[in-house]
Structure formats: structure tokens, C-alpha cells
Amino acid sequence: MTNQEAKFILSAYRPGGSDATDALFAPALAQAQQDPALGAWFAREHRHAATVAARLREITPPAGLREAILAGARASGRAAERSWWSRPMWMALAASVALLLGVGSALWWRSPSVQLGRLTAFAVNDTLHAQHGSHGEAVGTLNALLSQPTTHLSGPLPVDFAALRATGCRTLRFAGHDIVELCFTRGDAEFHFYVLRQADFPRLPATGDIEFGQREGQGFASWTDTAYRYVTVSAAGVSAIKQLL
């Protein structure tokens, strides 16, 4: 079982431990215990699910809701004096459901995995549709380093975000903050390299596995070091990106 497969299974794990003895989750739970990165991801997702559940428990249904539902069921065969949706109790029920969905959606939208998905989608879309080009000494130095076959992108990189942005590196805006982007080549393949300051995006996962994926014919990978999050996109595909890391 890969970590991606384990994440897919564990994303259905309910807070509170009620699924702890379910055989469906056993292999994925065991892998999360053995793999520190997967375990950290699962802990974050589990905390988020528990937060959503706690918020939902704070919402009090309208007084008399149960009685109204039962009364509505008993009267279902009788003609109503006015449309059901205009009755105050049903309107209160509809408002409660809308509130529940709103709270759940808002918390889900802020989850680290969703934010990371938004970032990689942004990078892929930019790769496909934007005009690319950077200049400046800092850009040239980093570009030369990234183009070297011996440079592993997952290792420490001498990135100076302020210098890149100030001396001509292409700068984009994502979620209200700056991202810098440059292009480099390895062999016959071109790669687009995005850098953002981790401190600017606290809702993104701070640590964890390298995330690989494929979208709109482009392979991508995203990872972090102590200060930055990186995204690399290439039409050469995921296998070519893995060789860089």
C-alpha cells in the first residue's frame, strides 16, 4: 500500500475512534504508525475532522423540531393550509441545515490538503496559460543550479526569496501573497519552479511527504524545507520530476 492509497482510506476515518477496530482501516492505520510523514498528515486531518464535528455539535436545533417533524409525518396525508416551505418550523429547519453545511464547508475549505490542492492547481494553470520569463543575477544563479544534473531539489536549496523578487524573478499572487517562478531545463525537458514562503501560507501543510500528481497533461510535485514550499510542474510528467528529487 502506498501512502497515497493510505491517505485515501484514512480520509474516511471518523473522529472519536469508532473506526479503530474496523478491518478496512487496519492496514492504513498500521502504515501511519510506521511512517512518520504519513502519521503527521493523519494527525492533522484527524484534528481537522474533530474540529468540524465539535463545531457542528455546538449548533442547537430549533426548539420543538422533533415534534414538528413527527407532526408533519402524521399530517402528510392531509391537505395543508399553506405550503410546507412557508411554515416557520420548516423554515427554521432549512436554516439549520444551511448553517450546518456552511460551517462544514468553511472548515473543509480551510483544510491543509484542500489548500495544497488549490496551490498545485494554480501552478499547473499558470504553467499552461502564462507568459514565462525572468531575469536578474539571483535568478540566473538559481537557474544554473537547478539545471545541474547533480542538484537534488528536495535537498537544501540556496533560495533568497527577497533577492529573487527584487531583481527580476517573475512574481505572481496566490491567496493574497507573492510567489516567485522561474523555468529551467534538464536534458530535453523544461520545468517550472514555484517558490513561496511557508510563513505566508500557514494553512498549507508545514511538513510531510512530497506530493506528486498529474493534472491537465502536466506532472507536478510539491514539498517543503524549513522556510519555503516548492512546486515543480512539467509536461515531461511525474517520472521526470521524480528524477530531480
Both 98 and 149 in one domain: the answer is no
Both 145 and 232 in one domain: the answer is yes
Mean pLDDT over 230-242 rounds to 96
Both 33 and 9 in one domain: the answer is yes
pLDDT at 158: 92
Mean pLDDT over 27-53 rounds to 81
Both 98 and 155 in one domain: the answer is no
Q: How many Å apart are CA 35 and CA 41, to the nearest integer?
A: 10
- Of 109, 144, 176, which residue is a domain's last? 109
Mean pLDDT over 116-137 rounds to 88
pLDDT at 44: 80
Greater confidence (102 vs 119) lies with 119
Q: Containing domain of residue 43, as a range?
A: 3-57
| Average per-residue pLDDT for the chain | 80
Both 219 and 143 in one domain: the answer is yes
Both 18 and 80 in one domain: the answer is no
Mean pLDDT over 84-100 rounds to 54
Please state the three-class secondary structure of the chain as a single string. Answer: CCHHHHHHHHCCCCCCCCCCCCCCCHHHHHHHHHCHHHHHHHHHHHHHHHHHHHHHHCCCCCCCHHHHHHHHHHCCCCCCCCCHHHCHHHHHHHHHHHHHHHHHHHHHHCCHHHHHHHHHHHHHHHHHHCCCCCCCHHHHHHHHHHHCCCCCCCCCCCCCHHHHHHCCCEEEEECCEEEEEEEEEECCEEEEEEEEEHHHCCCCCCCCCCEEEEECCEEEEEEECCCEEEEEEECCCHHHHHHHC
Both 117 and 105 in one domain: the answer is no
pLDDT tens for 128-147 read: 988 888 888 999 999 999 99
Both 201 and 229 in one domain: the answer is yes
Instruction: Tell the residue number behind the cell numbers 409525518, with chain if given.
Output: 73
Confidence of residue 106 (pLDDT cuts 50, 70, 90): very low
Both 123 and 104 in one domain: the answer is no
Both 140 and 202 in one domain: the answer is yes
Both 130 and 234 in one domain: the answer is yes
Q: What angle do CA 23, 25, 30 make, to 5 degrees?
A: 105
Greater confidence (209 vs 83) lies with 209
Greater confidence (16 vs 243) lies with 243
Confidence of residue 108 (pLDDT cuts 50, 70, 90): very low
In total, how many domains does the chain have?
3
- Of 109, 138, 172, which residue is a domain's last? 109
pLDDT at 32: 86
Q: How many Å apart are CA 215 and CA 242, to the nearest integer?
A: 16
Return the CA Rg of the chain: 24
Query: Rounded to two decimals, what is the model's pTM?
Result: 0.59
- Is 60 exceeded by the pLDDT of residue 110? no
pLDDT at 231: 96
pLDDT tens for 186-208 read: 989 999 999 999 999 888 887 77
- Is 70 exceeded by the pLDDT of residue 107? no
Both 161 and 225 in one domain: the answer is yes
Burial status of residue 200 (CB atoms within 10 A of its CB: 0-12, 13-18, 19 or more): middle
